[in-house]
Chains A and B, each alone.
Chain A
Amino acid sequence: MRYKKAPILEAALEFRWQPERPLDAIRASAGLHAFSEFEAPKERKLFNATLDLQGGEISHESKKVGFELALKDGSQIVIIESDKFVFVQRAPYDQWQTFSQRALSLLEPVAASLGVSEFSGIGTRFVNRIDIPQVDGANVNTDDYITVSFSGPRTDKGVVHEFQMRVVKPTLKDGISYGLGVATSGSLLPDHTSIILDIDVFTEGPTPASGGVFAKVLSEMRDEKNEIFHSCLKKPAVDLFGGFEE
């Protein structure tokens, strides 16, 4: 099931490994048949610039670290670097099963070609934007829509016009932590205010790259992500998602 107007802007699954693989092996994995639907891979580089404050000199260097592939319509992006694989699904997002199966179908041949049997880290990140209509141009009271709120030394008057917050902490599940970013944002829609919910659930230890333990960890991460999302929302926010699709 998915909401008719699911607020997910972008969903990502990331898998990291050690040690780093050579660039030639990464290039070969980006050329696997699994990526035949994707546009040609583009090199990714890491840029470093150093400013010598005393001498006033600037030096810089770039290092090739991997490749990025995207579908022609831009809806899916894959990044393969020397130490990680990332699958990104842009809105519209369907559902976890579709999303994760697609990610794993692309990951598996890459992991096999690189000889990865264990992930040093796994992360899943969902960036949501809730678009809230303004009534008569008045500022939206975010407290009406989400359970995350400002609790400061003063109450003053009126509603909070802007805020942002980010927290990172462990979940109750062993080895799984999360980052939660919450912020107000502008909206492309006229007379709307948006709230960003950026949920990042990640492991803090090694996980086998396949099998039951791997599946269990992914499932737990998904459950945590969903629980965090829903626990952030009040009913007026959920009502904006238009109910569930048949």
Chain B
Amino acid sequence: MTYVDTGLLGHRTQASGGLSSFAHTVVDGFRRMIKIGQAGHLVLEDDCTRSRVTRRERRLEEIQRVISSVSMHLPKGFAVGLNGQFANMMADDAWEDDDAYPSMLSLEAFLLMLLSTKVTQRPGIGTNGRGSITAFWRDGENRLTIDCLPSGNTRWVLTRVNAKGEVERAAAECQPDRLCEVLNAYGPEVWFGQ
């Protein structure tokens, strides 16, 4: 049922005397961007774009835009907080040049993980430098780390002190929408909140 890619939004209105970017980029954008100039000439007018934007900055913008676009399904303050965390993680002075940027499939897995587990406590985030996004929670000795992989899967490892005071450890790989079910045996509310 996908019909419209809403990747590029807003940023100008009909007050510009031209097309909104929704129409510009989506509905019939390319046809309208190309116009007949002098006889025998085609003129292509691109929208204004920023110069000197690095690939890292562009990927960060993509990540922030996608997180923002699902903010209404996340707990209040989550999206802004996560976007700040990604900005810090991918800051020029914090990013290792050799590391692969978090992939958009990893981001999708990350967001599906947040949505399916209904977390109310924002995780710490990191990356393994190979395109994944790592989410982690810690409550005393209870630790949970979930790697959201470029394959769209998640790989998790946990340490959990049970009701008898015994330390249990577990690890597995699964689809993000299965996490809620498979982690349920370990009382995930210590990490995810109620």
Contact = CB atoms under 8 A, between A and B. Distances in A.
B50 A44 contact: yes
Contacts of B22: 127, 181, 196, 198
B16 interface: yes
B64 A77 contact: no
B1 A52 contact: no
B94 interface: no
B46 interface: yes
B15 to A, nearest CB: 3
B72 to A, nearest CB: 4
Query: Which has the most chain B C-beta neighbours within 10 Å: A50, A90, A196?
Result: A90
Nearest to B47: A46
A122 interface: yes
B69 to A, nearest CB: 5
Contacts of B45: 46-48
Contacts of A166: 23, 27
Nearest to A179: B14
Given A10-B9, A73-B84, A163-B3, A43 B14 contact: no
B70 A189 contact: yes
A188 B70 contact: yes
Contact of B4 (A91, A140, A196): A196
B87 interface: yes
A186 interface: yes
Interface string A43-65: 11111111111100000000001
Query: Which has the most chain A C-beta neighbours within 10 Å: B16, B70, B111?
Result: B16
Given A12-B12, A188-B108, A45 B73 contact: no
Given A50-B41, A88-B11, A166-B23, A74 B83 contact: yes
A200 B65 CA distance: 20
Interface residues of A, number: 73
Given A51-B42, A51-B44, A202-B13, A184 B65 contact: no
A99 to B, nearest CB: 12
B125 interface: no
A81 B6 CA distance: 24
Contacts of B64: 73-75, 90
Contacts of A92: 68, 71-72, 76, 79-80
B3 A123 contact: no
Interface residues of B, number: 57
B184 interface: no
Interface in B77-125: 79-80, 83-84, 87, 108, 111-112, 115
Interface string A170-211: 000000011101011110111001001010101100000000
Interface stretch (A1-9, A21-29, A100-108, A110-118): A1-9
A77 B53 CA distance: 15
A183 B9 CA distance: 14
Nearest to A41: B50
B9 A164 contact: no
A72 B87 contact: yes
Contact of A203 (B15, B37, B47, B111): B15
Contacts of A91: 68-69, 71-72, 79
Contacts of B61: 70, 74
B180 interface: no
Contact of A162 (B3, B87, B177): B3
14 contacts: A5-B73, A44-B48, A44-B49, A50-B37, A50-B43, A53-B42, A68-B50, A73-B84, A75-B80, A131-B72, A177-B14, A179-B14, A183-B3, A190-B112
Given A42-B50, A54-B40, 15 more contacts: A6-B72, A7-B72, A42-B51, A42-B52, A53-B42, A74-B60, A75-B64, A90-B64, A164-B4, A178-B14, A181-B22, A184-B4, A186-B2, A198-B22, A203-B15
Question: 9 closest pairs, A vs B, by CB?
Answer: A123-B13, A123-B15, A186-B2, A74-B64, A121-B15, A10-B10, A73-B83, A202-B15, A162-B3
